[in-house]
């Protein structure tokens, strides 16, 4: 029996990571293939692959959108696949891995060639950005929820010195949110240049925050630091006795100086102007522009249900949350909850349009929707993409547009329906709930119309 290893990781580490792992495990069991799966989710690395596992594996499946320490797999046969593909068609992924020719791990030249081939395949701006976002998210979520809890005592209670509300605001806003941009930039650089990129990336991110360049400046600083450090790693050659100075002295010193000076004298001012312009536009949104922004963000959240487009909308809203704009994140979270909730409602309104197992899956989708896990809609979209995806996009677009137009705001960036229980965490709570309900109903009604009968009840 051939032994297959797999690593699954998505930017948020909440749903896709574990859905892909479960799908691969089930497919492997059906095909009588031995598999061990390492998940790299929000709680950290679980079921880690040991050096012994790697050495004895026929092939390794990497279904990931963030860094998974691929250097440990040099010389091994690797099959890379989008994490959504591992969820939708795990059997095909298992077959592809089983049919790979095993790499000759004792062939140094072949190992180096494999490494370069994989590097050319997997490096790219999206992967690096999502690595940064995945490390930033715990700070955003923790900080946002702590800030929301501080509002339990009143919206402006934190202004009173020595109070618990002030302490909570210091933790959430003064500390957690203050680390957002440096961590984002640092781990973008880490994804590009590994450990040597961390210091220049974080320093560049901190400067972006201080200058006022915000999350956009942090993203630029992270990429700049990563590529500067990668260039230095590849081109600075010292005698063997001094080679150890390169990663611990030369790269941190020169790399941080280059990135810092560029941020201060070249990049910071124009990026700050862009952020100031965006802030002014957001602060003076008319009804039409607010509706358009909410509509676009909502449709993006439903388009690929946790994929790159979904994450782009969420990342945009998270960045604005850090600069004090709470409307877009409200629209994004409500729009992300709408697809699975709409599908659940559709299974109740039109049970003949769904198989019995789909009706059961609808119940799980409803729970996931309440928890702001858009991925609950994936099984339905995979089974009938040309009807389901447009339907849920319309419903989410309606939710997003209504949320923005009705002035709903959100102080906590995750948590779904449970965040609504925190007093003052949601601005214009009644209209926010209405936006979610309307979008859910729109989704369900469209699905009830466009889907064909599948079952007799």
* Tokens linked to 181: 């941009």
Instruction: Give the CA count within 13 Å in the CB-facing half-sphere of 455.
Output: 12
Q: How far is 92 from 84, CA to CA, in rounded Å?
A: 13
Of 254, 212, 176, nearest to 412 by C-alpha is 176
263 Cβ contact list (under 8 Å, min separation 6): 204, 207, 208, 211, 213, 217, 221, 224
* Tokens linked to 279: 């802030």
Q: Check: CB of residue 380 under 8 Å from CB of residue 388.
A: yes
- Annotated active-site residue in 7, 9, 10, 198: 10
For the chain, report the end-to-end CA distance as a whole number of angstroms.
44
For the question of residue 10 being annotated catalytic, the response is: yes
Catalytic amino acids? Answer: 10
């Amino acid at each position: 029996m051939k032994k297959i290893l797999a690593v699954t990781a998505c930017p948020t580490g909440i749903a896709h990571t574990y859905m892909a792992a479960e799908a691969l495990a089930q497919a492997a069991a059906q095909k009588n293939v031995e598999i061990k799966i390492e998940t790299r989710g929000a709680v950290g690395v679980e079921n880690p692959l040991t050096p012994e596992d790697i050495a004895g594996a026929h092939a390794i499946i990497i279904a990931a959108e963030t860094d998974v320490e691929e250097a440990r797999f040099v010389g091994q046969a690797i099959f890379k696949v989008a994490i959504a593909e591992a969820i939708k068609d795990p059997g095909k992924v298992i077959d592809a891995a089983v049919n790979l020719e095993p790499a000759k791990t004792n062939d140094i030249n072949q190992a180096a060639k494999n490494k370069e081939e994989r590097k050319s395949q997997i490096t790219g701006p999206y992967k690096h950005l999502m690595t940064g976002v995945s490390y930033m998210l715990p700070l955003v979520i923790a900080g946002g929820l702590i800030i929301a809890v501080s509002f339990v005592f009143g919206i402006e209670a934190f202004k009173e010195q020595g109070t618990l509300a002030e302490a909570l605001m210091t933790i959430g806003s003064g500390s957690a949110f203050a680390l957002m941009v440096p961590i984002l930039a640092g781990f973008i650089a880490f994804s590009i240049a590994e450990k040597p990129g961390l210091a220049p990336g974080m320093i560049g991110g901190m400067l972006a925050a201080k200058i006022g360049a915000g999350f956009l400046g942090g993203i630029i600083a992270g990429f700049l630091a990563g590529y500067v450090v990668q260039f230095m790693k590849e081109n600075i050659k010292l005698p063997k006795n001094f080679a150890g100075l390169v990663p611990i002295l030369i790269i941190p010193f020169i790399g941080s100086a280059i990135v810092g000076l560029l941020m201060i004298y070249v990049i910071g001012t124009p990026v700050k102007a862009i952020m100031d312009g965006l802030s002014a536009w957001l602060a003076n949104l008319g009804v039409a522009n607010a509706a358009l922004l909410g509509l676009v963000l909502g449709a993006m959240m439903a388009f690929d249900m946790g994929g790159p487009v979904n994450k782009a909308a969420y990342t945009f809203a998270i960045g604005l949350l850090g600069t004090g704009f709470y409307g877009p994140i409200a629209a994004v979270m409500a729009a992300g909850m709408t697809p699975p909730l709409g599908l659940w409602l559709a299974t109740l309104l039109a049970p003949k349009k769904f198989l019995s197992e789909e009706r059961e899956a609808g119940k799980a989708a409803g729970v996931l929707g309440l928890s702001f896990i858009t991925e609950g809609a994936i099984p339905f979209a995979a089974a009938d993409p040309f009807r389901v995806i447009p339907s849920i996009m319309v419903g989410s677009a309606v939710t997003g547009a209504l949320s923005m137009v009705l002035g709903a705001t959100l102080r906590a960036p995750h948590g779904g329906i449970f965040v609504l229980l925190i007093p003052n965490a949601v601005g214009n709570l009644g209209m926010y709930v209405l936006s979610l309900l309307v979008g859910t109903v729109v989704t369900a009604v469209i699905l009830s119309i466009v889907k064909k009968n599948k079952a007799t009840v």
